[in-house]
């Protein structure tokens, strides 16, 4: 069983958490939605798996490259 | 009496060249997941098309006047064909002295080598297969003096950038001169895991700065391609890199005196993809997949993205419309909402100059809210790099077509139009534009009125609502201030007609592009 870190590709803030730890993820499912430059940018699962851990909370600022979640793949 | 003994001698000498640095060195090279330079040339070019030049170059060992062995020069080059079209091609042979430079009378490759002269004189593309670390301090012991930088300079390499397509492929570890040549190319590729490129490698870095870092962490694809954009694209393996080189060259003319090759397209120019009607969300805060949008418009499977992993706020792709080569510049709303940051600006500026140089018309698919804002953006000189992209666009003379998908704001928006040409702009119904977006803009422009209102927040909303009523692109079209608003499904057909119509103009303005002035 392997785990994979989901990193932010952008600088912004967490607008809404969509999935919770334990939730199953399909490919391209939105795990959370970030807000950056007045846009809602979904953070998508790269492959199917299970969300193990969220590393951020709603409204928290995030930097490019920051780990947002850990997924079991 | 025939010349058979001499012919046999030639064959023997060529066999030494084919043997490269010997079986042991080749095994070691293969064990690192790398092909030899001869395998690379064979893998990249059309079968049987390689005509090597200078195969006899090397250091011969003689006993009583009889040749016993030749250590070949560590550079293999010549003339070849890729998809039936001639190229000058060469690369270092890492199995001989690590591909370091060679003290021959005339250089085969590298700065000012024969292979560069061949590309220049015959006006054919140059492919550099780079696998060497350049000069060595040890050469001073051979010469008895140290050489001045630039004695074998980049002047020919620079000249070629205005004349013929130059492609560089970093196939091993490149530092020094070879690393410099990797950058002096219109397009470059490297191989994930087995190639690295840097100004100087780990030993020099440790000595200079005390930093201990391995070569992959210092100059692997993760840094050179994804982070820095030093190299444009990364391939999974060497054959993958060859496929990308062939693909890139398929969009390029042989030189700047010719048009890029048009092909017969089996994708109907009037194909109207229904997906275009729904791809842009009505909720303007929601982004969409611009790559999918591009794919729906251009000839099927014709898009080849340059620098896909760096400067991701803009997508730059070579593609075809009804068989004609075009350069697509499309903002990516998934990254910074499409706002232009330093890396995107640099990428866009380079791509515009590439297209302008090789007479490739540019299609802007616009969704740009402006330059990236914030402290980090200012520290990175976004304004300067952004204006450089605008400057380059305004200096280019190749025809450009502008199709506004959603946002077109500010100086970054201005840089997406053909102000020196037809200034032809079409837009989708989802388009919006102005000097800056209503949000933020209204609060600044009507500051006093809002502050003096009994309910400032309500007044701001009223002002914003009034401004939005004026924001319909159809009102701008009534004034012919935008040339057309189109059904998104019509985009491909519309663009194909104009790209076809401009071919006469393109064919009569060939040759090198001279650019005066100083970019900011």
The token duo for B185 is 């190319």
Which H/E stretch holds residue B457?
helix B456-469
Q: Would you give the DSSP letter of residue B371?
A: B
The set of residues, in sequence order, having a beta carbon less than 8 Å from that of B240 and lying 6+ positions away, is: B191
Spatial CA neighbour of B192 closest among B229, B258, B240: B240
ipTM exceeding 0.85? no
Average confidence score pLDDT of chain A? 91
The token duo for B393 is 């666009």
pLDDT tens, N- to C-terminus, chain B (520 residues): 899 999 999 999 999 999 999 999 999 999 999 999 999 999 999 999 999 999 999 999 999 989 999 999 999 999 999 999 999 999 999 999 887 766 677 889 887 799 999 999 999 999 999 998 776 666 677 778 877 776 678 899 999 999 999 999 999 999 988 899 999 999 999 999 999 999 999 999 999 999 999 999 999 999 999 999 999 999 999 999 999 999 999 999 999 999 999 999 999 999 999 999 999 999 888 999 999 999 999 999 999 999 999 999 999 999 999 999 999 999 999 998 999 999 999 999 999 999 999 999 999 999 999 999 888 899 999 999 999 999 999 999 999 999 999 999 989 998 999 998 999 999 999 999 876 667 667 888 888 888 899 999 899 888 888 888 888 899 999 999 999 999 999 999 999 999 999 999 999 999 999 888 999 9
The domain limits of chain B are 37-54+73-250, 274-431+482-506, 436-471
pLDDT-derived band of residue A38, with 50, 70 and 90 as boundaries?
Answer: confident
The set of residues, in sequence order, having a beta carbon less than 8 Å from that of A14 and lying 6+ positions away, is: A32, A33, A34, A35, A56, A57, A58, A59, A60, A62, A68
Taking CB atoms and an 8 Å cutoff, what residues of chain B touch A38? 285, 337, 369, 437, 439
Position B460 scores a pLDDT of: 87
CB contact under 8 A, A10 and B372: no
CB contact under 8 A, B286 and A37: no
CA B264 remoteness from chain centre:
25
- Alpha-carbon distance B131 to B371, whole Å? 38
Beta carbons of B403 and B495 less than 8 angstroms apart: yes
CA distances from B184 to A41, B227, B460 (A): 36, 19, 52
- Alpha-carbon distance B120 to A38, whole Å? 50
**Fold category of B37-54+73-250 in CATH:** 2-enoyl-CoA Hydratase; Chain A, domain 1 (3.90.226)
Q: Would you give the DSSP letter of residue B222?
A: I
Q: What phi, psi does B174 have (nearest 5°)? A: -115, 130
Under CATH, to which class is A3-72 assigned?
mainly beta
Spatial CA neighbour of B432 closest among B333, B343, B507, B362: B333
Domain B274-431+482-506: assigned CATH number: 3.90.226.10
* Preferred mutation among A10, A37, A43, A61 to probe B, highest tally of B CBs within 10 A: A37
Global pTM value:
0.92
* B427, β-bridge pairs: B404, B485
The token duo for B259 is 């048009």
The domain limits of chain A are 3-72
Q: ∠A36-A38-A42 over CA atoms, to 5°? A: 50
Position B117 scores a pLDDT of: 96
Half-sphere exposure of B486 (CA within 13 A, CB side): 19
Half-sphere exposure of B515 (CA within 13 A, CB side): 17
* Preferred mutation among B334, B343, B344, B375 to probe A, highest tally of A CBs within 10 A: B334
* Helix residue ranges per DSSP H, B127-166: 139-143, 155-160
């Amino acid at each position: 069983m392997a785990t994979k870190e989901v990193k932010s590709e952008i600088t912004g803030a967490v607008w809404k958490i969509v999935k919770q730890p334990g939730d199953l993820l399909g490919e391209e499912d939105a795990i959370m939605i970030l807000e950056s430059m007045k846009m809602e940018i979904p953070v998508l699962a790269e492959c199917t798996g299970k969300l193990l851990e969220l590393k951020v909370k709603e409204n928290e600022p995030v930097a490019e490259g920051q780990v947002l979640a850990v997924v079991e793949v | 009496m025939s010349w058979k003994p001499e012919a046999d001698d030639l064959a023997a000498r060529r066999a030494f060249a084919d043997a490269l640095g010997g079986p042991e060195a080749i095994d070691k090279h293969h064990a690192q997941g790398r092909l030899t330079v001869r395998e690379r040339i064979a893998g990249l070019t059309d079968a049987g098309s390689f005509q090597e030049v200078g195969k006899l170059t090397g250091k011969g060992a003689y006993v009583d006047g009889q040749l016993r062995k030749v250590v070949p020069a560590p550079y293999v080059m010549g003339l070849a064909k890729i998809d039936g079209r001639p190229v000058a091609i060469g690369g270092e042979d890492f199995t001989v002295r690590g591909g370091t430079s060679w003290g021959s009378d005339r250089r085969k490759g590298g700065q000012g080598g024969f292979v560069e002269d061949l590309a220049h004189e015959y006006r054919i593309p140059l492919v550099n297969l780079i696998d060497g670390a350049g000069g060595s301090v040890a050469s001073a012991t051979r010469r008895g003096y140290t050489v001045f930088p630039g004695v074998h300079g980049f002047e020919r390499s620079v000249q070629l950038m205005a004349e013929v397509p130059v492609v560089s492929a970093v196939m091993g570890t490149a530092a020094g001169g070879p690393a410099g040549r990797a950058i002096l190319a219109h397009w470059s590729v490297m191989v994930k895991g087995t190639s690295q490129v840097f100004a100087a490698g780990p030993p020099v870095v440790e000595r200079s700065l005390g930093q201990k870092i391995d070569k992959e962490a210092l100059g692997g694809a993760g840094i050179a391609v994804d982070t820095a954009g030093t190299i444009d694209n990364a391939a999974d393996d060497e054959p993958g890199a060859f496929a990308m080189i062939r693909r890139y060259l398929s969009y390029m003319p042989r030189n700047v005196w010719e048009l890029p090759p048009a092909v017969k397209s089996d994708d109907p120019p009037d194909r109207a993809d229904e997906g275009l009607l729904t791809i842009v969300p009505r909720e303007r805060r929601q982004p969409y997949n611009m790559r999918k949008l591009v794919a729906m418009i251009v000839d099927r499977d014709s898009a080849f993205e340059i620098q896909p992993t760096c400067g991701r706020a803009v997508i730059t792709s070579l593609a075809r419309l009804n068989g004609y080569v075009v350069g697509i510049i499309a903002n990516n709303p998934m990254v910074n909402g499409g706002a232009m940051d330093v890396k995107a600006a640099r990428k866009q500026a380079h791509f515009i100059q590439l297209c302008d140089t090789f007479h490739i018309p540019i299609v802007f698919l616009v969704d740009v809210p402006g330059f990236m804002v914030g402290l980090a953006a200012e520290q990175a000189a976004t304004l300067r790099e952004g204006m450089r992209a605008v400057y380059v666009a305004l200096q280019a003379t190749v025809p450009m077509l502008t199709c506004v998908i959603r946002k077109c704001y500010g100086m970054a928006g201005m840089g997406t139009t053909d102000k020196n040409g037809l200034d032809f702009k079409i837009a989708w119904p989802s388009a919006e534009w102005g000097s800056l977006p209503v949000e933020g803009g209204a609060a600044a422009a009507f500051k006093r009125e809002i502050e003096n209102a009994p309910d400032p927040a309500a007044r701001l909303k009223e002002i914003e609502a009034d401004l939005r009523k004026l924001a319909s692109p159809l009102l701008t079209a009534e004034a012919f201030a935008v040339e057309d608003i189109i059904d998104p499904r019509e985009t491909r057909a519309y663009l194909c007609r104009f790209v076809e119509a401009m071919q006469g103009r393109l064919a009569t303005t060939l040759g090198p592009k001279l650019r005066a002035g100083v970019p900011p």
